[in-house]
Structure 1
Amino acid sequence: MQDEVGRTMLQLTKQNHATIEKTMSAVNDKTITFLDNHLLDPTGPNEFWYNIETLGDINQADEILNRWSSDGTGYTLYMMNREEKRTLFDLSNKDTGFIYFDRGEELPAWTAQAIGKRGAGAFRLIRSRDGLATVSFARSILNTQNYNEVLGFLVVSRLEVLLKRDLLSVELPEHAGIFLFNDQNELLMQAGTTDMPAESVPESARQDRPGYFFAGEGGDRWLYAHSYEPLYRTNLVYRVPLDSITGGLKSFQWVIMALSAAYLALVLLFVLYLLRMIVKPLHRLVSITKIYEPGVPMDMGGGALLRSDEFGILYGSFMKMTRRLDRSIEDNYLMKLRQQETELATLHSQITPHLLYNTLDSIYWYALDNGNTEVGEMVMDLSILLRIGLSKGKTLIPIGEEAEHVQAYSRLQMKRYPDTFEVHWDIEDATLAYTTPKVILQPLVENAIFHGVSGMDGEGEIWIRILRVNGTIEMTVADNGFQKVDAERLNEIVRGEIEDAGYGVRNVHKRIQLHFGEDYGLRYEPREGGGVKAVINLPLHEHVPNDKDRRSSR
C-alpha cells in the first residue's frame, strides 16, 4: 500500500512538474517573440536599442518593455554600451525597463551563466536593487552576424507570480512541502511548509531521474517524490508526512481483517458442505477404477448417473470412456490381424520383382555369351535402376545406393546419346552412409540431359557432386547447356507457385521436406560459365538398416 501511495504521489509530482515546465516554456517562447519583434532583424540588430540617449528614447524603450510585463512579471533589457552612449539619467537604479552595461563595468554573476547558455535561457535567482531575490529567466542576446558577440541580456523577473500559481494548484496535507530547484541546486520556489530549509532536502531527492522513497526524520516517516525535467534541468520535490496519507488506512485495514475472518469462516463451512457432496460419488468412482481392466467385461450397474450435477456427469462420462476403451482394444486387435494379412500380401507381391530381376540377369548372361557386351551392360544398368527404384517399398535409402542408381541411369543415357555429352563425378566417400529419399537425383540428371546438353554435338558436360558442406549433405547437378535458363522461374516451379510444369522437380522438393522439414529441399541457381545448377540440401542422418534390410542382405 505504501508503494502504491508512492507511485501515486510520483505521478502527481510529474503532472505538476509538467504544468510548471509548460509555464517555463511559455516564458521562453515569449522572450523569443520579443527578440524577434523588437531587437533582431534578419539583416542584423535593430539599431534603436544601441543608440538610446535621450529621455524620449528611454521612455519609448521602457514603454515597450512594460507592455510585455502585463502578466505581473518584469521585463528588463540590459544592453552592452558599445558606442559609449551617455544618457542624461542614471539607469543603474532601475529594476525593470531599459538599462546599459557600460564598457569596463563589472557584470553580475548571473550574466556569466547566461552567456554559457549560448543564446538559450536559464532560470535563476537574481537579486533586485533592494536586495530581494526573485525568480528570473535570463538569456543572452547574440549578434546574428557574429554569434561570439554578446549584445546584451533579456531578463524576465518576478516569475514567482506564475510559478506559485502552478505550485499551489495542488492541495497539500498539513506539514507537506514542495520545492523547485534549478540546475545550480538553487531553490527557486517553495510552497507548503516553511519550517524546513531547502538544505535539508536529501541529495537523493535531487537526481536527474524521477522516483520516490521513504525516509525517517525526527521520529516521523516522510514520503519524498521527485521529478526531473531535462528541458530546463529543474527538480520538483514533494515532501509529505506518511501518516497524513496512510493514517486512515490503518482503521480500514482492521475492518478488512474482520471481514476477511468472517468470510473465511463462511468459506470453511461451504467447503465442508462440498466435501460431503463430493465424497460419495468420488468414492464409488474410485472403487470402479480399482476393479476395472480394459477389455474385460464388467457389470457396472448400467452406468446410471447418481445425480444430474457435475459429479454425476463425471461418473457417467467415466462409464462411457470405459466402453469406448473396450471397443478400441477390440478394434486394435482386428487391425493387427489386417496388418498381418497386408504383410503376407506384400511378401507375395515381392515375388514378381524377384522374377523380373532373375529374368534380366538371364538376359545379361545371354548377351555376354553371345559377345554383345554393350547390350549386357545396358541390361545390367536397367536391372540396377529397377532394383534401387523399387527398393522393396522403402522410401529412404543410403546415398551410396542413390549414387549407384543415378550412375546406371547416366550410363544408359550416354549409350542412347553416344558422343553427345560427358558426365563428371565428385562423390565424397564419407557421404555414402547417410540417408536420402530415393530417386531424387535421376529427375535432375534427366532434365540436364533433355533440356541442357542433348543437342550440343559432343560439347555437353554434366557435373554430379555429393559433398558435405557446413554440416549438411549438398548434392548438385550442373550442366553447361547453351540455352539461357531463368533460375528464378525454376525455383517458383519447385515451390509450387507455377503448377502447370515441373512435376518431377516439385515431387523431389516435396519428398525431401516431407522427410526432413522445410529447412531442406531443392533449389536452382545459375552456373558460372553458362547453364544451370540444381542444388539439394539434406541433413546428416546416418542410414540405419531395418529388419527387412537385414533379412534381404542375408
Structure 2
Amino acid sequence: MAFALFIIGPFLIVGWVSAYKTERSMQEELGRTMLQLAKQNHATIAKSMSAVNDKTITFLGNHLFNRTEFNTFWSNVETLGQMKRADEILERWSSDGTQYSLYMINKEDKRTLVDLSGKESGFKYIEDDASKMPAWSERALQKRGAGVFRLIASPAGVTSISFVRSVLNAQNYNDVLGFLVVSNLEVYLTRDLLNIQLPERSGIFLFNDVNELLMQAGSDELPEDSLSALANPEGSSYHFAGEGGERWLYALSYEPEYHTRLVYRVPLQSVSGGSKEFQWVIMALSAVYLVLVLLFVLYLLRIVVRPLHRLVAITKIYEPGVPLDAAHGRELLRSDEFGILYGAFLKMTRRLDRSFEENYLMKIEQKETELATLHSQITPHLLYNTLDSIYWYAVGKGNRDVGGMVKDLSRLLRIGLSKGKTMIPIGEEIEHASAYCRLQMKRYPDKFEVLYDIDEEAKKYATPKVILQPLIENAIFHAVSGMDGEGEIRIRIRCTDAEIEMAVEDNGFLPVDIGRLERITRGELADKGYGIRNVHQRVQLHFGEAFGLSYAPREGGGVIAKINLPRREYKNTH
C-alpha cells in the first residue's frame, strides 16, 4: 500500500503532469515556429509592396513632376490625341500584369470628347467634390502622399488589390491634384503568399489597415468570431483557439509600414501529429512497468524484512564498550548485502569500543594538560612578581635608573606575552614600543632620540602584538646607534577613513636598498630579515593581502617603514 501510495501514485501524477507540460511546451514551440514563418513570409510580401511603392514614386518623378514643377499636361487632357498619349504612358508601366490608372481632379472643368466613366484603367478625370470622389480616396487623402493598399472594384464589378497614392502639389502639400492607382496586384503578390507550404486545411489571410481581407490562400474560411478577434491587435503574436471541436493555431504578423497583418490559421492536429497518442502509449507502458516493479518489491520484502528485523534487534542490545556475543546474528553472516552490512556493523562496534577506550585515555591526558597549563601560567606570574620586587628594591636603594629599566623590561614581557592573546589594542602596542625605546636609550646613551606623533583615536583599535618593536630595532641597529646624538627615530600613527597607518622612520645617513628590503618582506630572501618578514606575514594573516608592511626612502636620508591596518575596534575576549 505504501509503495502504491508513495511510488505508483506520484509516478502516475508526475507522468501525467509531465505529459501535459510537454504537450504545452510543444504547442508553444509550434506557435513560435509558425509565428517566425509568418514573419518571414510577411517580410517577403512587404518587400513586394515596397517595390510597388518605389515604382509609383519613380512614375511620379518621371512623368508628373520635373524637379518641383508639375507637368501641366496631365491637368489639360481634352483631345483624343492627348488622351491616347496619357494612356500609352500608363500602359507602358502596366507591362508586369498590373494596371496603372491616374485619376486627376478636374479643378479647371475640362471636357473630354469621350465618356471616361467606363474606363477600367488609364487616365480619368474625377469631380472636385468630396461627396463624388471614390470611397477609396478618403484614406489616401488622410495618408498625405503615402500609399495604401485597398480592394477596389472596377466598373465591370471585378475586385482587385490596388495600391492608391494621392498626388500632392509640390508647392502646396495641402493641394491634392489626383490619385495614382495600381490595380491587379494579386498577380504580383500571389507568388509571395503561396511560397510557403502549410499543412492540409490551413489558411493564410492578408489584411490591410482597415481590416479588409486583401488575399487568402487555403481551403478553409476564417470564422467571423476569429476575424473580429484578429482585427485590432498591432503587433506579432500567436494563440490557440477551439473551433468546431478542434484546436487551431493562429500566428499573426504585423507590418507597421503599410499596417498590414498576415494571419496563419493551422489545425493543431496536423502539425502536432500523433504525439498525444504516443504519450498515452508511454503512460500505458509505464503503468505495466510499475506493476512489474510492485511484484518485484513484494519479492524483495520477503527476503529483506525478516533479516532487517534481526539486524535491528542485534543493534538494540549492543552497548559501547561491551563486546558483542559472536553467537548473535550468526545467520546473518552470508554473502549477500545483509551479510556485508552485518560485517560492517561488527567492524563499527569494534571501532566504537576502541574509540570508547581512547576517549577515556584522552580525558586523562586532558586533565594532565590542564595541570601543565596552570603551572605554565604560574611561571610568568612569578617572573613578573620577581621583577617587581627588584624594581622596588632598586628604587629603595636610590638607583632609579636600574629600577626604570627593570620596570620597562617587566612591561615588555607582560605586553609581549599578553596572556597568550595575539591581538592587543594599539595603545598597549605603543606602551610596548616605548618601553623598548627607553631600554635601548639606556644602552646607547646620548646617541639618538625618539619622537612620537600619535593619533589618540587610534589607540582603541586592534593590532597584532609586537609589530613596532622589530622596526624600531632595525632603525636603531642599522641607522642611528652610531650617530653621536644626531640620530632621530619618529614613531607616527594616524587614522584615515578606513585604515590605520603606522610608520617608523629614521634619519640614518647610510644608503639603503629599498628594493632589497621589499624582497625580504615578501620572503624572496628567506635567510634574511626574519623579524620584518614575520611582521608582514602576521598582519596579512589577520587582515588579508591588502594590508602589511612596506618601505619607502625618507626625504633628507633614512628609511620609512609603513604598516597599514584596517580600522577594527579591539574586543577583549578574556
TM class, shorter-length:
0.5 to 0.7
Give deviations 1:456-499, integer Å, cap 9, x for gaps.
958865432579x77xxx5331468799xxxx999997995977
Amino acid at match of 2:343: G
> Conserved in 2, the CA contact under 8 Å of 1:13 and 1:236?
no
Give the 3-state SS of the residue equivalent to 2:319 in structure 1. coil
- Residue 179, structure 1, aligned to residue 205, structure 2: yes
Following superposition, the deviation at residue 414 of structure 1 comes to: 6.7
Displacement after TM superposition at 1:371 (Å): 4.5
| 1:475 corresponds to 2:500 | yes
Query: Which stretch shifts more, 127-136 or 445-454?
Result: 445-454
Contact 1:453/1:480 (8 A) holds in 2 = no
What residue is the counterpart of 1:278 in the other structure?
A: 304
Which of residues 359, 377, 383 is equivalent to 2:410? 383
CA–CA distance in structure 2, aligned partners of residues 26 and 494 of structure 1: 75
In the alignment, which residue of structure 2 is the partner of 1:21?
42
Taking structure 1 as the reference length, the TM-score comes to: 0.66
1:439 matches 2:466: yes
Q: Which whole-Å CA distance do the structure 1 matches of 2:561 and 2:61 have between them?
A: 72
Using a 3 Å threshold, how does the CA distance of structure 1 residues 406 and 157 change in structure 2: closer, same or farther?
farther
Q: What pairs up with 1:244-323 in 2 under 5 angstroms? A: 258-300=284-326, 306-323=333-350
Query: How many angstroms does 1:14 deviate by?
Result: 1.2
Residue 134 of structure 1 deviates from its aligned partner by: 4.5
SS at 1:201 equivalent: helix
2:421 aligned partner: 394
**What is the CA–CA distance in structure 1 between the aligned matches of 2:412 and 2:476, rounded to whole Å?**
17
Query: In the alignment, which residue of structure 1 is the partner of 2:251?
Result: 226
Paired residue for 1:551? Answer: none
Equivalent AA in structure 1 for residue 43 of structure 2: K
RMSD: 6.0
Query: 1:272: Cα distance to partner?
Result: 0.7
Percent of pairs identical after alignment?
A: 48
Q: Measure, in 2, the Cα distance between the counterparts of 1:482 and 1:372.
A: 33
Q: Which residue of 120, 127, 139 maps to 2:152?
A: 127
1:393-472 matches, cutoff 5 A? 393-397=420-424, 401-409=428-436, 411-412=438-439, 420-428=449-457, 432=460, 436-442=463-469, 461-465=490-494
* Counterpart residue identity of residue 11, structure 1: R
Note if 1:206 corresponds to 2:206. no
Distance in structure 2 (CA, Å) of the matches to 1:499 and 1:140: 90
Change (3 A) 1:125 1:291: farther
1:138-149 correspondence to structure 2 within 5 Å: none
The residue identity in structure 2 corresponding to 1:26 is K
Distance in 2, Cα, partners of 1:495 & 1:446: 16
- Cα 1:359/1:231, change in 2 over 3 Å: farther
CA distance 1:24–1:191, shift in 2 (3 Å):
closer
Q: Which stretch shifts more, 12-21 or 255-264?
A: 255-264
Shift of 1:213: 4.0
What amino acid is aligned across from residue 477 of structure 1 in structure 2?
A: M
Structure 1 spans left out of the alignment, 5+ residues:
546-554
1:324 aligns with 2:345: no
Unaligned runs of 5+ in 2: 1-19, 75-81, 509-513
Choose 1 or 2 for highest CA Rg.
2
Q: Distance in 2 between matches of 1:313 and 1:481?
A: 75
- Code of the aligned partner of 2:294: L
Alignment deviations for residues 320-342 of structure 1 (CA, whole Å, 9 cap, x no partner): 33333333344444444444455
Q: 2:255 & 2:507 partners in 1: Cα distance?
A: 70
Shift of 1:536: 0.9
Check conservation: 2:152, 2:162, Cα contact below 8 A. no
Letter in structure 1 aligned against 2:37:
N
Tell me if the contact between 1:76 and 1:99 (Cα under 8 Å) persists in the aligned partners.
Answer: no
Quote how far apart the aligned CAs of 1:381 are: 2.3
Cα shift readout 1:70-122 (whole Å, capped 9, x = no counterpart): xx6x48597999xx9x9x999999888999999999893454565576xxxx7
How far does residue 373 in structure 1 lie from its aligned partner after superposition?
Answer: 3.5
**Larger deviation, residues 275-284 vs 415-424:** 415-424
For 1:195 and 1:539, the matched residues in 2 are separated by 76
**Contact persistence 1:220–1:241 (CA under 8 A):** no
> What one-letter code is carried by the residue in structure 1 that aligns with 2:39?
A
Matches of 2:381 and 2:284, distance apart in 1: 90
| Distance (whole Å) between structure 2 residues aligned to residue 499 and residue 133 of structure 1 | 97
Superposed, 1:49-68 pairs within 5 Å as 63=92, 65=93
Q: Measure, in 1, the Cα distance between the counterparts of 2:550 and 2:454.
A: 19
The C-alpha deviation readout for 1:104-150, integer Å capped at 9, x for no partner, is: 99893454565576xxxx76325365575545667899999x99999
Provide the C-alpha distance between the structure 2 equivalents of 1:246 and 1:342, rounded to a whole number of angstroms: 79
> Is the alpha carbon distance of 1:418 and 1:357 closer, same or farther for their aligned partners in structure 2, counting shifts above 3 Å?
farther
SS in 1 for 2:455: strand
Structure 2 counterpart of 1:225, one-letter code: Y
AA aligned opposite 1:270: F
Cα distance change, pair 214–66 in 1 and its aligned pair in 2 (3 A) = closer
Question: Equivalent residue of 1:535, what SS?
Answer: strand
Q: What's the CA shift string for 1:280-337, capped at 9, x where partnerless? A: 3422332232222333322346998745444443333333333333333444444444
